[in-house]
Structure 1
């Protein structure tokens, strides 16, 4: 029998070119984008982040996705980390008694609604399959915590059951996470410093960022 073809390595050049394009399209997020450390993983569906600012990328996803769309995914994933969706998910899970992977999927969907509402356009195409508030019949401009109260998993969300932006999006550890002691993770102080620098840049030049980012920076 013929040998199976070896798995293709991650096209890091393409992934980093996409990150540069993301930084050019969203200069106010550049500090955060360049703080992310890319990690090849065959266990992530597409791309995902952990709370230690690692960005896991599935090599086949990078291969088949145009650079412009990868740039949009970079912006999407770093937005989860800047907006502390993992910490907020943990908090809302405690406060509302939400347990189990289904609830964490709802948190990921709600967090995506918060981000994607005004993330695309102006040089970044909307990635295929992106969760948008309108697609769930939800109003624009709300926060993850608000969106969580407004939908349940069901027919409207069935297209998003594959969604997995990682533990950096919903706080639930994943099998592929390298963990706090793994290589290239940012410490809590380093993560706070990145958020501070991005927020300071936005408040210094508020005209460059959309309303949701100005709200976050305040």
Structure 2
């Protein structure tokens, strides 16, 4: 990808011939007034975003001297990770204030929800120019747009006709971008581009003008979260914003320690059970002639792992959680022959006996119904005492607890559900990687 070089006139980086950066003060008065009015309009429609909207750094891209079609399609007012928003002078002049205001709300949401950090695709070497973008980048852009727009559609902002919504792809509202990302695989998608603020991949128009640094961006996000939580008390706040603010402001629990201690307690409960057995004679039979006394038996703990392998599960999270369960189970001395693993999406797959959880063959990627998986675990012989379920919780559950089994659910999405008869452990791997929802 070509990187910007210096304009011989000293007016900033030069991208394509005839394209240059301008300052806001170089625009006509009417254009400057429209920019200011658009930010005010956006802040009135979404007051909880006012701080973030005012933090945006405007970079004007002048393509008026280009011979032929403009090389960059900036109708969506794209952003980069430095909170710079790119304005095409012609679009700024022609578009009405509410449309520009919508795009400002939309683009600042990409930044607040850290979509560039969350990008699950393969990074392109050196970035990808518009018109020749990696399909992963396009799919992620549409997925993040769906995450944003279903919330905006529930609020007071009027969406343009071409704004991607989950319903356009027969998908439900309320999902995370990662869920839409998996569901959109193989779909025919519009080639939308909201800039490097969505996937971290540099664009040809990206500027080196000073923007908002990382620490300042985090402070802006926390201020937005505070305003969201205040607005929740008055009601009418879209669910995606509530979820994001609560996760950002809630204290992080040490999920590794919590998961480890819960599994250890479950195994200890089983190992501590003492029962009578007549399968071998008691050593005290000699003191009671004619009476057969039972001996005492202490069962060896048996553990099963049920893995949700539906399409909404993130491979990186699942791998990290599975490695942690494997370490805990091995450290507490559960016999390797007694560790069995079942993968489940809409159906349960054959149980695997593995010596190491890293050798598990993951099967699935369809829908989710862990009722099938728990039923398959219950049919294992000998029956497991403890079942560790790794899932995002977007599944139906049995109404009753499995008989004779303790169930620990390692939940990979705080919005997922866990039945009241199971022990819930929130596994928040993305928070450790500096990610937020």
TM-score (norm 1): 0.84
* Equivalent position SS for 2:78: strand
| Cα shift at 1:103 | 0.5
| Cα shift at 1:44 | 4.2
Q: Which has the bigger relative contact order, CA under 8 A and spacing at least 6?
A: 1
Give the aligned partner of residue 45 of structure 1. Answer: 74
The correspondence for 2:206, drawn from 139, 162, 177, is: 177
Alignment of 1:1-218 (within 5 A): 9=27, 11-41=31-61, 42=63, 43-46=72-75, 47-89=77-119, 92-93=120-121, 97=122, 101-120=134-153, 122-152=155-185, 154-155=187-188, 157=189, 160-161=190-191, 163-178=192-207, 182-206=208-232, 207=235, 209-218=237-246
Name the CA distance, whole Å, in 2 between partners of 1:44 and 1:177. Answer: 13
| Cα shift at 1:194 | 0.3
Q: 5+ unaligned residues in a row in structure 1: which ranges?
A: 1-7
Name the CA distance, whole Å, in 1 between partners of 2:52 and 2:91. Answer: 22
Name the CA distance, whole Å, in 1 between partners of 2:186 and 2:104. Answer: 26
Name the CA distance, whole Å, in 1 between partners of 2:114 and 2:204. Answer: 20
Matched-pair contact (CA < 8 Å) for 2:155–2:237: no
CA distance 1:28–1:208, change in 2 (3 Å): farther
Q: 5+ unaligned residues in a row in structure 2: which ranges?
A: 1-25, 64-71, 125-132, 247-437
Larger radius of gyration, structure 1 or 2?
2
CA distance 1:204–1:123, change in 2 (3 Å): closer
* Equivalent position SS for 1:38: strand
Name the CA distance, whole Å, in 2 between partners of 1:119 and 1:167. Answer: 21
Matched-pair contact (CA < 8 Å) for 1:28–1:208: no
Aligned-CA RMSD value? 2.0
After superposition, give the CA deviation of every residue in 1:106-162 in whole Å (9 maximum; x if it has no partner): 11000000000121365422124111111111111101100000013544x2xx21x
Name the CA distance, whole Å, in 1 between partners of 2:185 and 2:95. Answer: 30
Name the CA distance, whole Å, in 2 between partners of 1:200 and 1:16. Answer: 25
Matched-pair contact (CA < 8 Å) for 1:86–1:171: yes
Question: After TM superposition, where is structure 1 displaced by more than 4 Å over at least 4 residues in a row?
Answer: 97-100
Give the aligned partner of residue 3 of structure 1. Answer: none
TM-score (norm 2): 0.43
| Cα shift at 1:38 | 1.2
| Cα shift at 1:9 | 4.8
| Cα shift at 1:202 | 1.3
After superposition, give the CA deviation of every residue in 1:29-62 in whole Å (9 maximum; x if it has no partner): 1011101111112434311000000111112222
CA distance 1:200–1:136, change in 2 (3 Å): same
CA distance 1:153–1:17, change in 2 (3 Å): farther
* Equivalent position SS for 1:193: helix
Matched-pair contact (CA < 8 Å) for 2:151–2:241: no
Name the CA distance, whole Å, in 1 between partners of 2:174 and 2:108. Answer: 19
Count of residue correspondences: 199
CA distance 1:133–1:98, change in 2 (3 Å): farther
Name the CA distance, whole Å, in 2 between partners of 1:184 and 1:141. Answer: 35
